[in-house]
Amino acid sequence: MKILKDKQKCWCKSGKLYADCHKNFDLHLLELAKQGNIIPPHSLIKNSTQIEGIREAGRINTLVLDKVASVIHEGMTTDEIDKVVYDETLRLGGIPACLGFEGFPKSVCTSVNGVVCHGIPSDYKLKSGDIVNVDCTTIVGGYFGDSSRMFEIGHVSSEAHRLVTVTKECLDIATKNIKPYSHLGDIGYYVSNHARENGYSVVRELGGHGVGLKMHEDPFVSHIGKKGEGMLLVPGMVFTIEPMINQGRAGVYIDEDDGWTIFTADGSLSAQWEYTLLVTETGVEILAK
């Protein structure tokens, strides 16, 4: 990390002088690095203007999922969910980020039962007993907000309900324990501990990620980890936590036909919840939920 001269413009592109912006922050990080900590590169730190833009994208993203929550029902097709997301996103002044991303054909991911993630909306009709994850990313003013929710359709089994509940608890426990200058490995520690205590497995191949200026940024946020290990989480970092918890084994596979849909290897149920989070000077702020 390079310490700039006081009267140089700060690296964060805030327009402020370095001495009045991130100089003390950098000096603190250098001291932490001397103690053996892994410090994040400047590219992972958002400035106040960027944070405000991501916050607005997250607000719209949350409202879109609120709309889905108000209309989702038994007999609704996942294509109809996709249309709700597309229409509501545009109505609120956003752009559905998934549409066309690396060739993805729809505006949202809908993952039902044994689909872990990246399910493509279709003419499949939701039926009583299904659990479905709706994963939505929204662009507003060039900034990205990303979150997902689980929905229980009709009368679900007690086993399915418990999986959905515990997965949400995994997310909330990890979020609650994020503090400035805690570690990336803490997230995986809290997620995996709670999942395993309840008899579930954690998908390893997929995880959370940095977000805000692009749909996917560094760092990769594993849901398996050790407390006190990995990169420091510092104020200004924005990323998702999105644990994918399986009722059976942790293994997954990708559909070779569509190249997107990821299933549990053993056919068991899977659940996922996701927030976009900002590390602050005092804790954490949920930007999209």
Res 245: pLDDT: 98
Res 39: pLDDT: 95
Res 3: pLDDT: 87
Res 138: pLDDT: 98
pLDDT (tens digit per residue) in 1-53: 788 889 899 999 889 999 999 999 999 999 999 999 999 999 999 999 999 99
More confident residue, 168 or 2: 168
Res 25: pLDDT: 92
Query: What is the model's pTM?
Result: 0.94
Q: How many CA atoms are closer than 13 Å to the CA of 71, on its beta-carbon side?
A: 17
Res 2: pLDDT: 80
Taking residues 94-109, report their average pLDDT: 97
Q: Is the pLDDT of residue 238 over 80?
A: yes
Residue pair 61/147 in contact by the 8 Å Cβ criterion: yes
- HEC string of the chain equals CCCCCCCCECCCCCCCEHHHCCHHHHHHHHHHHHCCCECCCHHHCCCHHHHHHHHHHHHHHHHHHHHHHHHCCCCCEHHHHHHHHHHHHHHCCCEECCCCHHHCCCCCEEEECCEEECCCCCCCECCCCCEEEEEEEEEECCEEEEEEEEEECCCCCHHHHHHHHHHHHHHHHHHHCCCCCEEHHHHHHHHHHHHHHCCCEECCCCCEEECCCCCCEEEEECCCCCCCCCEEECCCCEEEECCEEECCCCCEEECCCCCCCEEECCCCCEEECEEEEEECCCCEEEEEC
Taking residues 161-190, report their average pLDDT: 97
| Arithmetic mean of pLDDT over the chain | 96
pLDDT (tens digit per residue) in 175-186: 999 999 999 999
* Domain ranges for the chain: 44-288
Taking residues 239-261, report their average pLDDT: 96
pLDDT (tens digit per residue) in 63-88: 999 999 999 999 999 999 999 999 99
Rg of the chain, C-alpha, whole Å = 20
For 44-288, CATH gives: 3.90.230.10
**Residue 124: pLDDT band by 50, 70, 90 thresholds?**
very high
pLDDT (tens digit per residue) in 203-219: 999 999 999 999 999 99
Res 5: pLDDT: 86
Res 118: pLDDT: 97
What b/e readout covers 177-216, taking b as 16+ CB neighbours within 10 angstroms? ebebebbbbbbbbbbbbbbeeeebbbbeebbbbbbbeebe
**Residue 198: pLDDT band by 50, 70, 90 thresholds?**
very high
Compute CA 167 distance to the chain's CA centroid, rounded to the nearest angstrom.
Answer: 13
| pLDDT > 90: percent of the chain | 97
Res 284: pLDDT: 97
